[in-house]
Chains A and B, each alone.
Chain A
C-alpha cells in the first residue's frame, strides 16, 4: 500500500470518460469461462475477436494498444470496480462517479474539489481544462473556473461570430472594459477579475497549438484522438494545467453491440497510441497518468442484439509511472454469484480516486471524498 503522500506529487491527471456504460465483459473477456458463453449466446467473443493476456482473460481484439501497454506493465486494469447498491440509470450512476457520493445527491464534483485545493485562490483559470461543451459534474464546484474547449484554435471570445468584421477592435475594447478597479463598486471586482482571467486564459489556450510541435499524426475523423491531441497541446504549452478531461462514447450498446463496441475501442486504441507517443515526444510521459472509467457495466446476459444496463465494470490507470497489472478479482459469472443479473463489484472506485488524488494530484483525499479510503499501490512517485 502506498503511504499517505503529503501533497508532493505533481503529476497531471487525464480523465477519459467512457460515456454510456461500457460492456466490461466484452472489454476484458473471460474466454475460458463457460458461463460467459452461456449468457452471451449472441454477443460472446471468440477466436480472432480476442487477444488473450493469460489463460483466463483476453482483451477485445480492438484494443491492441491496451494489450501492448499491459505487456509493458504501464497499465493497471481494475477488475470489478463499482460501488455498493449500484444504480443503473446513466444519469444517476454517472453522477455518483462524478461526485463520489453514492448515497446522497451532491452538486460538487470530485475534481472540482481537487482543483479548489490545488489552486485555492483561483489564480489559474486553466488549472482544469475540459474538452467538450458543457461541464461534466466531476469538474463542477461553484467558484471554480474550468475552461471547456471545443477546439483549441477557436477557443475564446467571438470565435465563429458571424459578420464581425471588426473583431480585433472589438476584442481590444472588451479587454479594456474588463480591468479590475481598486474600489468595490459596480460591476463588482469579482466579475471584472473573472473576465480578465477568462480573456487571459483563452489567449493562452488558443496560443497552445502554435507553440506545439509533434510528429504524431492524430486521425482527423476520430473525435477522442482530436481531444487527446488538444490535451497534448495544452500540456506542451506548460500553462499549469493539472486536470484534463475528455469523453468518448456512446457505449450504450443495447443493440448492434458487436459493431459499435468494436468501433469505439478501435478509435480509443488508436487515439491512445498517438497520445502516448506524443507524451513521450513532449517529455510528459513520466508525469502524466490517464484514468479511464465508465458509469456502469452491462448485464451478464445479452438481449439478442446487445446488452442492457448493468453494474460493476473495468477501469484503467495508464502511464509510464503506473505499476501495471491486474488489480482486484475478475467477478464470477455463475447464476449464484450474480447480483440481479450483474457482476458484483469488489473494488470501490473511491479507492482509486483516493489514489489518484494523493499519488497523482498530490491532494489529500479525505476532504474531497468526505471519507477516508485506503489507497491502492498503483503509481510510482
Chain B
C-alpha cells in the first residue's frame, strides 16, 4: 500500500522491562526540546511500568514513575502529557489519581482519589492540556471529562454515560486542538467526538466496523497543528487519518523496520537473528499491533505508540506541511 501524504521515517524501541526499551507503550509525547517521553503500561503484575526518556536517535536517557503506589510511583498508568513548562502528568487508573513530575522525573505532586465527586476519579485515562494550561482528564468510568486548573482545582466537567451524541461509553484518549476544541476517543461507542472548549457537543466521526472511517475501539485521538486528525483504531490495528473536514484521507497499518536497539540485540544474539531469518515474517513484523496513541511534531513527524510491539513507529509528513 503506497502512502500519499506520508513517508516512513524510522522506529524506536525494543521489548524491555526496564531501561532502554519499552513494555507495551500506550502513550508518547515530545517535550519542548524534542525529547521523546514514552509511557510503558506493561502488565501491572509484572511491575515493568515506567516513563522513559530518549532522543529521536534512540539514545536512552533515563526513566521514572516505576511500579508502586508510593508518591513518585505508578501502578496502572494510562497516558502522559507535558505542559508548557515540560512538567509530566501521568494519570493512573489503579490509584485513581494523576501524578506530576518535572522533566527530569522528579516527583512533584499528585492529585485526586477514588470517587465520583469533583476532583475525584474512577479510572482516569487520557489527558490533554489547553492553551491556558488547564489539564483535561478523561475520567472514564465516571463517563466524563474533568477540567482542572493548573494547580489542580476543579473547574468544570461534562459528559454522562450512554450512546447518544455527547455521551460516553468507556472513553479513553483526548486531544485539544489549536482552538481549544476537545476531541475524545469514545472507545466503546466506536467513535470520536468533538466538543467546544466548554464541552458542548459539536460533531462525531465514525461508527463500528473495519471500513474506512469506521472503528473498532478507538483508543487515541490526536489533532495536529494543521488540523489533521489522527485516530488510533486500536482493535483494527491501524491508524486512520482525517482531514479538517472529517474526510478520511489515509490509513496507516505499520511500516516498521528494525530499530537501532533491535538491530543491536540481533547483532549480539546471532542465534536469535537466524531464528528470525528462518521465520521470515518480515511483513508481519512491520505491522501495528494495537496502536494506542499518536503524537506529532511541528516539523512534520508523526509518532505512533505501537503498544503490543513495544515500539514507536515514526512517519514524516514534512512535505505535506511544506505545501500548506
Contact = CB atoms under 8 A, between A and B. Distances in A.
Tell me if chains A and B make direct contact, with any CB pair below 8 A. yes
Interface of A: 88, 252, 254-256, 299, 301-306, 308, 340-341
Nearest to A259: B19
A255 B16 contact: yes
B19 A306 contact: yes
B264 A340 contact: no
B60 interface: yes
Contacts of B271: 88, 340-341
A256 B18 contact: yes
B270 A304 contact: no
A303 B60 CA distance: 13
A340 B275 CA distance: 12
18 contacts: A88-B271, A254-B21, A255-B16, A255-B21, A256-B19, A299-B268, A299-B269, A301-B268, A303-B264, A304-B20, A304-B261, A305-B19, A305-B60, A306-B19, A308-B272, A341-B268, A341-B269, A341-B270
Contacts of B282: none
Contacts of A256: 18-20
Contacts of B60: 305
A302 B264 CA distance: 10
Nearest to A300: B268
A301 to B, nearest CB: 4
B16 A254 contact: yes
Interface in B49-75: 60
A254 B17 CA distance: 9
A305 B269 contact: no
Interface string B127-159: 000000000000000000000000000000000
Nearest to A260: B18
Interface string B253-270: 000000001001100111
Contacts of A302: 268
B185 to A, nearest CB: 32
Max chain B CB contacts within 10 Å: which of A299, A302, A304? Answer: A304
A172 B269 CA distance: 59
B270 A340 contact: yes
Nearest to B269: A308
Contacts of B269: 299, 303, 308, 341
A175 B17 CA distance: 46
Given A255-B19, A299-B269, A303-B265, 5 more contacts: A254-B16, A255-B20, A303-B268, A304-B20, A341-B271
The 10 closest A-B pairs by CB, nearest first: A255-B19, A256-B19, A301-B268, A305-B20, A255-B20, A340-B271, A303-B268, A304-B264, A308-B269, A303-B264
A355 to B, nearest CB: 32
Contacts of B265: 303, 308
